[in-house]
Amino acid sequence: MKKRCCCCHEIKAISCFCKDSNRKDGIYPYCRECRKVKGREYRKTKSYAHTRRKYERSEKGRAALSRYSKSQKGKKTSAKYKASQKGQDSRRRSRIAYRLAHLAKYKAHQKVASAIQRGAIFRASEYKCSDCEAQASEYHHYLGYAEEHWFDIYPICRSCHKNTHL
């Protein structure tokens, strides 16, 4: 059995068309090749970008993305992207943008790191957490990141530090 494609107007075998239960004959009007081309064209439009963003921000879209990123295929794809030049450039731009958006925080952390390297202060891991007595892993800038408070710090474990900022 054969059918004419509404896009390229070629007569092709039914196997060249996708199924569509909403159509009278049960077959999609475009052949698979034309459908691929139309899909690529649509994905370049602003309408698609808007629809995609709206879905990704929805609860259903976030859940789907979370499931995918935890799957083997998602992990493999993510690793491949991070290893690519495009992925590395994207991460570099993100780091730079974060630093510019949080410049005071970045400078405060850099000053503490350089003081540790010089030996002016010890690593946080050499102390106990000020809150729970567990092994400390980082310093907390308890008075903020202004220049006069760069060294107003105390050692804290990661879980207590997260709780401090909630």
Is residue 107 within 8 Å of 101, Cβ to Cβ?
Answer: no
Indicate whether 160 pLDDT > 90: yes
Is residue 140 within 8 Å of 153, Cβ to Cβ?
Answer: yes
Residues facing 128 on adjacent strands: 135
pLDDT band at 64 (very low <50, low <70, confident <90, very high): very high
CA distance 13 to 136: 69
Closest CA to 142 of 98, 159, 150, 125: 150
Residues facing 140 on adjacent strands: 154
Tokens found for residue 128: 């106990």
The pLDDT tens digits of the residues spanning 101-135 come to 999 999 999 999 999 999 999 999 999 999 999 99
Is residue 138 within 8 Å of 158, Cβ to Cβ?
Answer: yes
pLDDT of residue 112: 96
The pLDDT tens digits of the residues spanning 79-109 come to 999 999 999 999 999 999 999 999 999 999 9
pTM: 0.57
Q: Is 152 left (phi over 0), alpha (psi -120 to 50) or beta?
A: beta
Residues facing 82 on adjacent strands: none
Residues facing 130 on adjacent strands: none
Q: Would you kindly state where each structural domain of the chain is located, as residue ranges?
A: 1-44, 56-101, 103-164
The CATH-assigned architecture of domain 1-44 is 2-Layer Sandwich (3.30)
The pLDDT tens digits of the residues spanning 7-44 come to 999 999 999 999 999 999 999 999 999 999 999 999 99
pLDDT of residue 68: 96
What integer best gives the mean pLDDT of the chain?
A: 95
Tokens found for residue 48: 């698609």
Phi/psi at 143 (nearest 5 deg)?
A: -105, 10
Tokens found for residue 31: 């052949």
Q: Is 106 exposed, middle or buried (0-12, 13-18, 19+ CB in 10 A)?
A: middle
pLDDT of residue 70: 96
Indicate whether 166 pLDDT > 90: no
pLDDT band at 165 (very low <50, low <70, confident <90, very high): confident
Is residue 15 within 8 Å of 1, Cβ to Cβ?
Answer: no
